[in-house]
Structure 1
């Protein structure tokens, strides 16, 4: 248990005990410590502090961003303490006020105005969600501005009012951000500092709303007479230019690592039948409707006839999960049983069993080529058979189901079950890829 010794006016020892069992205790600091007269700081809560640290650290004029905890009743706590306390609060087993995950942003007012810092804060998360941010739920993930002087308080309240008007125009609800004097700030454990630099694939729930902070005259005013142009807000999509019958829209945000990963993993290789388009504007295409507001980036929404049908929220690199989600929108129940439950169609029932035209057989979800028709042969088994797949198009897995030992074949692009491979095929490979025809789509040359 850590004891914080605070020097007040004399050598008075103050011992503060956190009313629960301690597990990890970070270094506690006094944020009223003497700072360089040329710098200032403000403490902000934006949900998970990993993403908040990265977002605020990218702002020109920001000197340092430190992850920490603040706003709770206890003067000393660690990460696990805060999680335990939150669980107890939600279970009704305790009372009090938990800390929020925050970042202490130290900046040079000569290089960046506090209004600019707060504008980045408002834009970088969704401040209307209450005790949550993205997939992170709990009062420890609340939106907050903790000020240390009256000027900061005034500007925080003013910018909240300005941004509330912008959010209301875009169809969002009331801002839930608490604006309070800073108390009980604690530096987070070392492994939380610069987390996304150390772990580039780490989860970041910050997506923002896509609504820009509407600074006066489209500028963010500094303390002096200079100004910094604000980034123009991306235009919303025009529904007239999209596929009204069926359209996928990726709602992304600026500086979003997982949006970039989705683009690399999925969008860069898009061959599926459903048209896909990406936007950084969180409004639906003109005259189209979303079922509910967006709260994480990226969010992929399937529209049919201009209305949201289903969405996939918060891609974090799980490609197979995304393709399975899309597969349930594209495939028939019979195809789904084969693709996702390792089912098998009845022999001699596949529509493309006797297909002999030059062309290619592709994954029915991703559109990736699996087999060329020149490798197809009549095995007499009742299933489409091939002696060779396209290089890198399939993966192999041991299958011990049905008291048999077989090698399962799956699509490398979507992970769906295709069939099995056997060693009784024709030359030159002497392999027989026995594939369910109902999960193959044929595209003639």
Structure 2
């Protein structure tokens, strides 16, 4: 290898660092971290366990569901320190899930889903606590409870099985889990409440999308909305923007497609909805 190329690789490696983050199911988290400018790799895996094999079939066993020594589902985030910082990544981490939930995120319940940050230096540890304390103040102002996130030194990271890596890309007809609180470090980026009065009269289709990048939302827009031929208007909202609407379907998955009549849900579908199923439901909805 030429000396110039070798020097470039050595220089680049000097700027690389990593942090391991647990925020519930690692499938959606992996994609979110990978989208941060400066992140060069995001790998799903396991960490923090003792006496439990770091394998998916082991950590999901009923006997390990409440085992405090179970591994957590985590993502190892490798980033270029000249382009982003561990502080930025940890802020994204807190904003991307509900850290006040203990050993769960939504319907995913068990110690494998615990909120945890595994650090590899003392500086990372101090930064993690500083960010946590700042976010606690903002959560408390918004009437959320105490953060349950653990901050621990990383002993060892175990990459998950190959079928878990890039899971969303390998499973094109699913959903992105979103358990975020909507509370932001930067108040100017807080989710704006919208006027839903127009949705309270007549028939409407409401698509709940992700505040972050969601491949299933984009796929739905491309496959269904781009060539939409129905009469019922389609609107978009984030999960915290559903005031005054009567919704039955849980809204933690994106996309979630809701068919509303006079502000009340008639039919709801979590996750990607194929054009075939969408138009089948739409036909019955518009004829009813």
Verify same fold: TM over 0.5. Answer: yes
Distance 1:72 1:43 in 2: 14
* Partner in structure 1 of residue 3 of structure 2: none
* Partner in structure 2 of residue 213 of structure 1: 184
- Residues 181, 244 of structure 1: CA spacing in aligned structure 2 closer, same or farther, 3 A cutoff? farther
- Please state if 1:271 is matched with 2:242: no
Q: Is the 8 A contact 2:106 2:179 kept in 1?
A: no
Deviations 1:294-319 (A, max 9, x none): 4322234566766x657736313366
User: 1:386-401 maps to which residues of 2 (within 5 A)?
Assistant: none
Higher relative contact order (CA 8 A, sep 6+): 2
* Partner in structure 2 of residue 97 of structure 1: 69
Deviations 1:154-197 (A, max 9, x none): 32233233334444555655543332232342222233333444
Counterpart among 145, 154, 160 of residue 126 in structure 2: 154
Q: Which has the higher helix share?
A: 2
Distance 1:320 1:177 in 2: 42
Distance 2:214 2:242 in 1: 19
SS at match of 2:123: helix
* Partner in structure 2 of residue 88 of structure 1: 63
- Residues 265, 161 of structure 1: CA spacing in aligned structure 2 closer, same or farther, 3 A cutoff? farther
- How many residues are treated as equivalent by the alignment? 275
Distance 2:129 2:269 in 1: 31
* Partner in structure 2 of residue 284 of structure 1: 242
Distance 2:274 2:103 in 1: 26
Q: Please report how far the alpha carbon of residue 130 of structure 1 lies from its aligned counterpart in structure 2 after TM superposition.
A: 3.3
Distance 1:100 1:143 in 2: 8
Q: Please report how far the alpha carbon of residue 89 of structure 1 lies from its aligned counterpart in structure 2 after TM superposition.
A: 3.3
User: 1:90-239 maps to which residues of 2 (within 5 A)?
Assistant: 90=65, 95-133=67-105, 136-167=108-139, 173-197=145-169, 199=170, 201=172, 203-209=174-180, 211=182, 213-215=184-186, 232-239=189-196
Q: Please report how far the alpha carbon of residue 70 of structure 1 lies from its aligned counterpart in structure 2 after TM superposition.
A: 0.6
Deviations 1:379-404 (A, max 9, x none): xxxxxxxxxxxxxxxxxxxxxxxxxx
User: 1:43-62 maps to which residues of 2 (within 5 A)?
Assistant: 43-62=20-39
Please, which runs of 5 or more residues in structure 2 have no aligned partner? 1-11
* Partner in structure 1 of residue 207 of structure 2: 250
Q: Is the 8 A contact 1:259 1:297 kept in 2?
A: yes
Q: Please report how far the alpha carbon of residue 144 of structure 1 lies from its aligned counterpart in structure 2 after TM superposition.
A: 1.8
- Residues 317, 301 of structure 1: CA spacing in aligned structure 2 closer, same or farther, 3 A cutoff? closer
Q: Please report how far the alpha carbon of residue 129 of structure 1 lies from its aligned counterpart in structure 2 after TM superposition.
A: 3.8
- TM-score computed with the length of structure 2 as normaliser: 0.75
- TM-score computed with the length of structure 1 as normaliser: 0.51
Please, which runs of 5 or more residues in structure 1 have no aligned partner? 1-34, 219-231, 328-362, 368-439
Distance 1:105 1:115 in 2: 13
- Residues 55, 291 of structure 1: CA spacing in aligned structure 2 closer, same or farther, 3 A cutoff? same
- Residues 185, 282 of structure 1: CA spacing in aligned structure 2 closer, same or farther, 3 A cutoff? same
Q: Is the 8 A contact 1:208 1:297 kept in 2?
A: no
